[in-house]
Amino acid sequence: MLRPAMAGLLAAVLAVSVVVMPTDAAGNARAPKKTLLVLGDSLTWGANYFAKTQSRLTATGQYDVVVVDGWWSRRIGGLVSTTYSGTNTYKKLVAGGLRPTAVIVGLGTNDVYFLSKRREYATLIRELMDTIGEVPVVWVNVHRVESPSTVNRSRLFNDTLERVIAEYPLASTFDWAGLAKKNPTVMAWDKIHHSPTGYEVRTKVYLELAATLAQRASDMTTTTTVAPTTVPTTVAPTTVPPTTVPPTTVPPTTTLAP
- Which residue type, as a one-letter code, is found at position 161? L
> Rounded to whole angstroms, how far apart are CA atoms 37 and 206?
11
- 135: confidence class by pLDDT, cuts 50, 70, 90: very high
> Which residues, listed in sequence order, are joined to residue 140 by a DSSP beta bridge?
174
pLDDT band at residue 7 under the 50/70/90 scheme = very low
What is the pTM assigned to this prediction?
A: 0.76
Max CA distance (Å), the chain: 75
Q: What H or E segment, with its residue span, contains residue 49?
A: helix 42-51
| Domains in the chain, CATH or no CATH each | 32-220 (3.40.50.1110)
pLDDT at 116: 97
Q: What was the pLDDT predicted at 91?
A: 97
Query: What whole-number percentage of the chain has pLDDT above 90?
Result: 69
Whether the pLDDT of residue 3 is over 50: the answer is no
So what's the pLDDT on residue 218?
81
Measured CA distances, 173 to 14, 38, 227 (Å): 36, 14, 40
Q: Is 125 within 8 Å of 164 (Cβ atoms)? A: yes
| 74-79: average pLDDT | 93
pLDDT computed for residue 31 by the predictor: 63
How confident is the model at residue 244, as a pLDDT? 37
Q: Average of pLDDT values for 162-178? A: 98
Strand 65-70 vs strand 137-140: parallel, antiparallel, or unpaired? unpaired
pLDDT of residue 12: 35
pLDDT value of residue 30: 55
**Beta carbons of 139 and 222 less than 8 angstroms apart:** no
Mean pLDDT of the chain: 81
CA distance 93 to 246: 12
Q: Which segments of 60-147 does DSSP mark as H helices, in order?
A: 86-95, 111-114, 118-132
d(CA 122, CA 4): 45
Give the Cβ contact number of residue 32 at 10 Å: 21
pLDDT digits (tens, 9 = 90+) for 203-239: 999 999 999 999 988 888 643 333 333 333 333 433 3
Give the whole-angstrom CA distance, residue 62 versus residue 7: 44
Output DSSP code: residue 106: E
State the amino acid at position 24 in one-letter form: D
Q: 3-class DSSP state for residue 156? A: helix
The pLDDT tens digits for 143-155 are: 999 999 999 999 9
Q: What pLDDT is recorded for position 78?
A: 85
**Amino acid (1-letter code) at residue 87:** T
3-state SS assignment for residue 102: strand
- How large is the average pLDDT for residues 134-141? 98
- The confidence band for 65, taking pLDDT boundaries of 50, 70 and 90, is very high
